[in-house]
Amino acid sequence: MAVERTFSILKPDATERNLTGAINAMIEKAGLRIVAQKRVRITKEQAEQFYSVHKARPFFGELVEFMISAPVVVQVLEGEGAIARYRDVMGATDPSKAADNTIRKTHAKSIGENSVHGSDSPENAAIEIAQFFSGNEIVG
């Protein structure tokens, strides 16, 4: 399998509970390398653009408000099959349906405040990485 890069966000519910290190340990234990990382407060415009695919959904407003409610940690993760591997490590969107030992089962508060984001395709990974990082900020 090819070495890939995926885009990750540690969401406000995670940074607020001081879980950056705990979640990063789960990421690294799964064989993914954190090749770029920064803690930022995203703007409302960035959150709306990032989740624009969901703009018709009833939870969109709540999702945007949540994403700007506290700092987030944006990351680029690298490894074999990184996109699918990170989705596995994250677990299902709804933590009550997530498998044991996944990030969301272990740490998420709810379907909305679910601790992490991971890209869902190579196309979206490239778009999302470019939205938050310039090439020289990614060091593999």
Give residues in contact with ligand ATP (CB under 6 A).
Answer: 54, 59, 63, 93, 111-112, 114, 117-118, 120
**Residue 112 Cβ, how far from ligand ATP at the closest point, in Å?**
3
**In this complex, which beta carbon is closest to ligand ATP, that of residue 8 or of residue 36?**
8
**In this complex, which beta carbon is closest to ligand ATP, that of residue 128 or of residue 133?**
128
Which neighbouring-strand residues pair with 116? 10
Residue 58 CB coordination number (10 Å): 8
As given in the structure block, the two tokens for residue 122 are 């190579």
SS3 111: coil
Which neighbouring-strand residues pair with 36? 76
Catalytic residue among 73, 107, 117, 125: 117
C-alpha–C-alpha distance, residues 130 and 41, integer Å: 17
Q: Which of 76, 45, 91, 48 is nearest to 140 (CA)?
A: 76
**In this complex, which beta carbon is closest to ligand ATP, that of residue 92 or of residue 139?**
92
117 catalytic, yes or no? yes
Residue 49 CB coordination number (10 Å): 13
**Residue 138 Cβ, how far from ligand ATP at the closest point, in Å?**
20
Point out the residues that are catalytic: 117
